[in-house]
Homo-oligomer: A and B are copies of this chain.
Amino acid sequence: MFDVKSAISMLKGKGYRITPQRVAVLRVLHNNTEHPTAEEIHRKTMKLQSNVSIATVYNVLEMLEKEGFIVVLQTPDGTRRYDPNTELHAHFVCERCNRIFDVELSQNLSKGLLFFVPEDSSEVKQINISFFGICKRCAQQQTS
């Protein structure tokens, strides 16, 4: 998980301009374990910085992913969610409410997985492990 101050100085070092919009998105994502959508990030960012457009949120998210500060998750409903935790871990994805929960993996299993990285591909940049099902909260509600 990045630290806001050091993330800012790293971005500055790479030549990026430090705009209030970028800082606000960084602050929203910092320590965020909710796997928010772009729209949710936009809503929260506007509370810190009223003049932020959704287009800018997408711009900043794309930049943060490119620079390795966040990872992007595709959900079954076709939307994307953003995760500042870039360590190898798994997700449980609720197919009803589309929320995502973190699932910790053991060191052993993580290393075991890397063993299967296909060698004929140049480089594996990311690994995604997802369990799909219905979360506890949705399971308790009637199945309409």
The closest CB in chain B to the CB of A135 belongs to: B121
Given contacts A74-B76, A103-B116, A121-B92, contact A130 B132 (CB under 8 A): no
Given contacts A72-B76, A78-B74, A122-B139, contact A130 B131 (CB under 8 A): no
A95 within 8 Å of B (CB atoms): yes
Which listed residue (B101, B106, B128) contacts A128, Cβ 8 A? Answer: B128
Number of interface residues of A (CB under 8 A): 41
Within the complex, the shortest CB–CB distance from A33 to chain B, in Å, comes to: 15
- Residues in chain B near residue A125, CB distance under 8 A: 95, 132-134
- Residues in chain B near residue A130, CB distance under 8 A: 127-129
